[in-house]
Amino acid sequence: MAIVLPSAPIDDPLTVLLTVCCFVSILAVTRWEHSVEVTGSVATLMLAVAFLGAGPAIVILVVSELAAWVVDRYRVTALLVNISGHALPCSIAAVLLLPVVAPGEWPDQEAVALAALAGAFAVALFVNWFMVTALMAILDGRSPREDLRPPVALVPTFALTVGFTVALAAAYEEFGIGATAFLLLVVFAFSYGAHLVTTSRNRTRQYASLSWGVLSGLVRTLDQRDPHAARHSAAVAAFSRDIAKHVGMGERDQELAHTAGLLHDIGRFAFADRVLEPGHELTDDDWQAVQRHPEIGADLLPDLEVYGPVAEIVRAHHERVDGRGYPDGLKGDAIPEIARIVAVAEAYDTLTAADTYREQKTSFEALTELRRVAGTQLDPRFVEALAELLAGRGTDYRHADTADFDRELAIQRKIADAVGQG
């Protein structure tokens, strides 16, 4: 019973300080992976166990969790999970510390006491992770086995938390409560900043998911009107990425080339049905609409924010190096480099695919045509890069008739990149 009964007065300055810190840390939680939450509350509770005893630590825990619940009003069952998931680790840590550190009586052998605190805290963190993860999985109707994988990704965070808590204990023992309060303020300021960054990333992830859903839906709708649209977009994306990689561009630019290839024709959504009909003779108005599709596509993308860099490429993918392209008449290096790559990839797929409006050409015939217009319409550097890529490759690669839009879309990879760039 000595472990669970208070051994320090409730108005003790350290008790008050740790209660406030525990409450604030629960509110300003930093989410790291899935349902696992790493907060300063565990650290403050370990300090309470070491200097006040398990009883006050559990009182601090209950008071802080109840106060946070009054503010957030989350599920009562989750409140009970949080309390039990912290109370048991506190008790276990107290049992482990008791032979070395009696509550309120820091031993003369400080190094031994700090080592004992580090070991007890590490055990408590693991028990806390195990209990909360398992109980929350059960509460949410999932099998705990799905979530209870070794928390390898959290090991650096756990180690940092243990190290900082040990440092706080040493600071309190050496300099008193003032130094401890200052250090806790610093760590909570850092935790709150990390919380803001993590929240921003999560929102960007959700926004990117929604944006890709909208854009892929537009491409698939266009595919219903123009049966080759999705396959063509997938092929241009794959060729563009491979060309960018072949010429030595970094991973971000390779991904940018791939994304621009997927979305380069998104502006065709605004075409009238007659423009998309095979064999239809286009009027002057129709040609004006065709020449506006890069501009329309670019205008769609900034509205979806995370695709700002792609918009410039989509707008410029029909520019020519001799300045006779559209919509802006850009010339040479004024055309974004990746837009020049997409132009080569699009021209090649249009010439070699079986489902386009042109007569299908062999890979050799298509390269001959691309070389003929290199230096006027297309950038010679990227034409030759494509030729080097195609050398020795099979027909499936040279003629991308089986290019798959869903495979190239790879939504989760796009989301991850969007988050990383954010």
Q: Average pLDDT by consecutive 10-residue portion of the chain (422 residues)?
A: 41 78 67 44 81 84 86 81 85 84 69 86 86 83 78 77 82 79 71 64 65 69 73 92 95 88 82 61 72 84 65 94 94 95 96 79 94 96 96 87 79 51 51
DSSP character string of 373-390: HBTTTB-HHHHHHHHHHH
Close Cβ partners of 241 (under 8 Å, ≥ 6 residues apart):
254, 255, 257, 258, 261
Give the per-residue pLDDT at 7: 46
Q: Residue 242 is encoded by which pair of tokens?
A: 């491979």
C-beta separation of 198 from 370 below 8 A: no
Distances (CA, A) of 184 to 39, 45, 118: 12, 13, 18
**Sign of the four-CA dihedral 292, 298, 299, 300:** positive
pLDDT at 278: 60
Q: How far is CA 179 from CA 49, 59, 60, 172, 176, in A?
A: 19, 24, 21, 7, 6
Please state, in angstroms and rounded to a whole number, the distance separating the CA atoms of residues 3 and 52: 11
pLDDT of residue 25: 72
Where along the chain do its domains lie?
A: 13-175, 208-421
3-state secondary structure of 198: helix
Per-residue model confidence (pLDDT) at position 306: 53
**Residue count of the chain:** 422
Query: Phi then psi for 377, rounded to 5 degrees?
Result: -90, -45
Residue 33: per-residue pLDDT: 39
Tokens read off for 171: 């600071």
Instruction: Identify the CA nearest to 410 among candidates 216, 206, 210.
Output: 216
Look up the pTM and report it.
Answer: 0.57
pLDDT at 298: 85
Q: What is the CATH number of domain 208-421?
A: 1.10.3210.10
Q: Which CATH architecture does the domain made up of 13-175 adopt?
A: Orthogonal Bundle (1.10)
What's the rounded Cα separation, in Å, for the pair 144 and 73? 25
Residue 133 to residue 128: CA distance in whole angstroms: 8
Sign, CA dihedral 159-17-199-197, equals: negative
Burial group, residue 225, by CB count within 10 angstroms (0-12, 13-18, 19+): middle
